[in-house]
Amino acid sequence: MSDNPLKLKSIHHIEFWVGNAKQSSFYYRHAFGFSQTAYQGLETGSREQCGYVMDQGRARFLLTTPLTANHPAAEHIRRHGDGVHDIAFEVDSADAAFAEAVKRGARPAVEPHSVEDDRGNIRRASIHTYGETLHSFISRNGFKGEFLPGFQTAPIAGRETGVLRVDHIVGNVGLGEMNRWADWYSNVLGFKRFLSFDDKDISTEYSALMSIVMSDDSDSIKFPINEPAAGRKKSQIDEYLESYGGAGVQHIALQTRDIVDTVSALQRNGVEFLRVPDAYYQLLPERVGAIDESLKELEKLGVLVDRDQDGYLLQIFSKPVEDRPTLFFEVIERHGSRGFGKGNFRALFEAIEREQAVRGNL
Ligand code: FE2
């Protein structure tokens, strides 16, 4: 059995369904430093939806807004607020990937079909994953355009903040569903269990979660899956599930080469991050040993550090980027460590719970 049965090559893009893509694109450009590279909308003959393609490094977001009340995105936004609709993969053959996925137990969402314009055509198809989230398969067939047929080049440069790529994408699923979805990623996409955490690793006084990290055979696509665990009060996963109206993407981790530069820029641009108590930094030298970065600088920015057998990592978490406490971003810089910052879970979750309490959701 092949380790990559669907022949996934990479994440082609992450599509968000949002209420106002014009304003969202402004946020990702001015706050996160993405550049707008392509556009579809009324001006390009798209009567049903507007789409803005936002690029930085190898991270690519598509922000889509429905132009009509009957568009499926309109109902999605009503139920979930703004959120991730589709994590799309580039594959050798969308037809073959779709057929194989369905054979392996995936629920079909969109049958294979062509999309074309005067620059060529692509094939695409989609399957359902957790909640109302999709995985699309896209094969480009030598398509000449920069993104997909129907999009026109519309460059508006952002001021880059040093984002290199998407490191991992985390899904929250309901109580008792984590193992089912981990098995699904293993059976359907051929992913393997890369790491797992249970409530002994991830618990605070009030809330807990369990997590399994699924990864493809090259470890380049990582999808941790969280479920709530029993705690004394409502966990952050429960808050998400209530606010989003079910399972969905919880956070997207963006990898950077220099987290001090990146987070300094993001904070200057107004991106809000969680802060752990100052005591965290007093314990840090003993916990992580020598690192290249200045601890003073990390403390000033609120960047967290964790070390494991392979090396260390630096990470920081934004506050939710919508009014509903749902999707947020992580910024991560890796120095050997392939983990997810287990040593930071307690301090981090206590910080999240303080925010939940302010929202009246703890
Ligand atoms: Fe993460």
Choose which CATH entry (3.30.200.210, 1.10.3720.10, 3.10.180.10, 3.20.20.140) describes domain 8-156.
3.10.180.10
Q: How far apart are CA 287 and CA 46, in angstroms?
A: 54
Buried/exposed code over 46-85 (b: 16+ C-beta within 10 A; e: otherwise): beebbbbbbbbbebbbbbbbbeeeebebbebbeebbbbbb
**Residue 81 binned pLDDT confidence (cut-offs 50, 70, 90):** very high
Q: Are 10 and 90 in contact (CB under 8 A)?
A: yes
Buried/exposed code over 259-268 (b: 16+ C-beta within 10 A; e: otherwise): bbebbbbbee
Q: Which tokens in the block code for residue 297?
A: 């600088």
How far apart are the CA of 2 and the centre of ligand 1, in A? 28
- Whether residue 193 has pLDDT greater than 90: no
Please state, in angstroms and as integers, the Cα–Cα distance from residue 281 to each residue in 256, 275, 340, 346, following that order. 22, 11, 19, 14
* Mean pLDDT taken over the chain: 92
Sheet hosting strand 311-317, strand order edge to edge: 192-197, 208-215, 222-229, 163-172, 248-256, 328-335, 311-317, 304-308
How far apart are the CA of 248 and the centre of ligand 1, in A? 14
**Residue 146 binned pLDDT confidence (cut-offs 50, 70, 90):** confident
How far apart are the CA of 212 and the centre of ligand 1, in A? 12
Q: Single out the residue of 211, 162, 167, 215 nearest to residue 332, CA to CA.
A: 167
Where are the extended beta strands (E) located within the chain?
Answer: 8-17, 35-40, 49-56, 59-66, 83-91, 107-117, 120-128, 134-139, 152-156, 163-172, 192-197, 208-215, 222-229, 248-256, 304-308, 311-317, 328-335
What would the pLDDT profile of 265-319 be if each residue is shown by its tens digit?
A: 999 999 999 999 888 998 899 989 999 999 999 999 999 999 999 999 999 999 9
Please give the pLDDT value at position 1. Answer: 45
Please give the pLDDT value at position 180. Answer: 93
Residues of each domain in the chain carrying CATH 3.10.180.10? 8-156, 163-359
Amino acid symbol at 42: L
How far apart are the CA of 360 and the centre of ligand 1, in A? 24
- Whether residue 62 has pLDDT greater than 90: yes
**Residue 201 binned pLDDT confidence (cut-offs 50, 70, 90):** low
How far apart are the CA of 223 and the centre of ligand 1, in A? 9
Please give the pLDDT value at position 213. Answer: 77
Please give the pLDDT value at position 199. Answer: 62
**Residue 202 binned pLDDT confidence (cut-offs 50, 70, 90):** low
Q: Which residues contact 32 (CB under 8 A, 6 or more apart)?
A: 56, 158, 161, 163, 254, 266, 269, 271, 329
Q: Which tokens in the block code for residue 238?
A: 């429960």
**Residue 221 binned pLDDT confidence (cut-offs 50, 70, 90):** confident
How far apart are the CA of 253 and the centre of ligand 1, in A? 6
How far apart are the CA of 127 and the centre of ligand 1, in A? 24
Share of the chain above pLDDT 90, in %: 73
How far apart are the CA of 155 and the centre of ligand 1, in A? 30
> Which residues on neighbouring strands pair with residue 90, listed in sequence order?
10, 138
Q: How far apart are CA 255 and CA 165, in angstroms?
A: 5
How far apart are the CA of 316 and the centre of ligand 1, in A? 9
How far apart are the CA of 330 and the centre of ligand 1, in A? 6
* Bigger pLDDT: 292 vs 235: 292
* Bigger pLDDT: 217 vs 43: 43
Return the CATH fold of 163-359.
Answer: 2,3-Dihydroxybiphenyl 1,2-Dioxygenase; domain 1 (3.10.180)
Q: Which residues contact 349 (CB under 8 A, 6 or more apart)?
A: 202, 203, 204, 207, 236
